[in-house]
Structure 1
Amino acid sequence: MKSSQEKSHRSEKQAFKDSSLSDRVYERLLSMIVQGEIAVGDKLPTEHVLSEQMQVSRPILRQALKQLREDDVIVSRQGSGSFVKRRPDEAILDFAPVGSIADIQRTFEFRAAVEGEAAYLAAKRRSQADIDLMTAALKELDRCVENNELGVDADEAFHFAICRASDNQYFASARTSMNANILTGMNLTRNLSLMKPKTRLELVQQEHREIIEAIIEGDAPAARDAMRRHIDNARQRVFDGEVSSS
């Protein structure tokens, strides 16, 4: 008879396997949409057809479809099925490593939670030295925008300075543990932004300014909200592109 611990371990392994499978289906469907195989406004094939095409069970397929809905790429209409709402820029497939998009999205979720609370505490505990570090990083980002440079290092320095300003080393440690994933996401979003009019990066800079202003003013709730809004906007900007008019 299997122990409860063995059953739990087997259940965790199955959940991980299911998640990995749904990620692959999600990225395959996303790729089909990005490359125009399923056009904006088109109805997706039925779950029965897709599950056979992808060679996965319907529960696995539904997980992938749920993620595409959360990303605002598809929309479900009751009684009619799922339709393509937007076609992200094809460059997403050039800048995101193969098989990484689902993980990048999870990283944004992690960052919104962790960095939102770090910004909240930073507004309560920041020192002048912390403010100086954030301000210096923001100025460097301004220079990068002006010169059409990528600015990933300055972006990372800005966000890390806020975690440090929380005066709780675990925020910085948690962020450092995810550093490779975070930098992958930053490289993707900033490369995509460089392909857009400069107003796109200027908008990102305005979001950064709102965060630092709230921290300097000591408005903890506003700092948290500004940080979470900025990171969620970054996640959504990954999927900018052609949008259905219907």
Structure 2
Amino acid sequence: MTSLDTDQLGQGRRQGRTLADQAYERILAMIVEKKVAIGDKLPTEKELCAELEVSRPVLRRAMDRLREDGVIVSRQGSGSFVNRRPDEAALRFAPAGSIADIQRVFEFRAAIESEAAFLAAQRRTEAELKDLKTALAALDRCIETGALGVAEDDTFHRLICVAGDNQFLTAARNSMKANILTGINLTRNLSLTKTAERLQLVQAEHYAIVDAIERREPEAARQAMRAHIENARRRMFGGTP
């Protein structure tokens, strides 16, 4: 690695991997704006580095994340190809420059909230279970009325942390509340642009979590929560495959 690469990579780390984030979002925008069609090969590493003004290590980090999101696929000896075009609405609803951060928040939530669901299935009280069912009913009403439901969605997930009876998990989630709300706002806005079945699918995932908590099945609750959050992350990129 050259001294320039080392310096630039270090700068990216110090700034929360800002350079990789910017490269990630610019390549994503190229795909969303149809500058590269599904099935088409992306420009070479050298060409992308020149266009984005980043080093190869920074670009490779961005490309790794695009592969994780299923947006691109790499073929040995052939390069990287566009596999999926995210909905343009994903960029429209997300605050400028926030897509990479939102994706990281989903990773954070998968870790924190899956464990909270596990503990909630072990420790929840009858009163806490009743509160969760009330929160589910509020989300049902959002679907019926066409309301966005960001606050209701956040309340549901917060109550699971409360039922887990671990103040550190609750504090960790609270510390990221603004970022979490941004992600919930984006995913629920995207769902409203889809069919009613999309919202029902999301709500079915909520019911699966509560069902496992009610039955006191910790591992099932953990897996249901992880599946829900990972599905939400994938739904951000649920455009044309």
The TM-score with structure 2 as length reference comes to: 0.94
Identify unmatched segments of 5+ residues in structure 2: 1-8
Alpha-carbon deviation of 1:12? 6.8
2:106 maps to what in 1? 108
1:206 maps to what in 2? 204
1:46 aligned partner, one-letter code: T
Whole-Å separation in 2 of the counterparts to 1:167 and 1:241: 38
Whole-Å separation in 1 of the counterparts to 2:87 and 2:175: 30
1:60 maps to what in 2? 58
Alpha-carbon deviation of 1:223? 0.2
Where do 1:70-85 residues align within 5 Å?
A: 70-85=68-83
* 1:40 maps to 2:26: no
2:4 maps to what in 1? none
SS state of the match for residue 72, structure 1? coil
1:239 maps to what in 2? 237
2:146 maps to what in 1? 148
The TM-score with structure 1 as length reference comes to: 0.92
User: For 1:90-130, what per-residue CA distance to the aligned partner results, in whole angstroms no more than 9, with x for missing partners?
Assistant: 01111000110000000000000000000000000000111
Task: State the identity as a percent.
Answer: 59
SS state of the match for residue 42, structure 1? coil
Identify unmatched segments of 5+ residues in structure 1: 1-10
Whole-Å separation in 1 of the counterparts to 2:12 and 2:25: 20
Inter-CA distance 143–14: structure 2 relative to 1 (3 Å threshold): closer
2:5 maps to what in 1? none
1:224 maps to what in 2? 222
* Root-mean-square deviation over aligned CA pairs: 1.2
Alpha-carbon deviation of 1:32? 0.7
Whole-Å separation in 2 of the counterparts to 1:128 and 1:44: 54
SS state of the match for residue 83, structure 1? strand
1:5 maps to what in 2? none
Alpha-carbon deviation of 1:14? 5.6
SS state of the match for residue 76, structure 1? strand
> How many residues are treated as equivalent by the alignment?
233
2:97 aligned partner, one-letter code: G
Whole-Å separation in 1 of the counterparts to 2:12 and 2:70: 28
User: Given the alignment, which residue of 188, 191, 195 partners 2:189?
Assistant: 191
2:180 aligned partner, one-letter code: I
SS state of the match for residue 240, structure 2? strand
2:125 aligned partner, one-letter code: S
1:121 aligned partner, one-letter code: L
Aligned partners of 1:18 and 1:60 also within 8 Å: no
Alpha-carbon deviation of 1:13? 5.7
Whole-Å separation in 2 of the counterparts to 1:33 and 1:20: 20
| Over 3 Å off, 4+ runs | 11-14
1:215 aligned partner, one-letter code: I
Alpha-carbon deviation of 1:163? 0.1
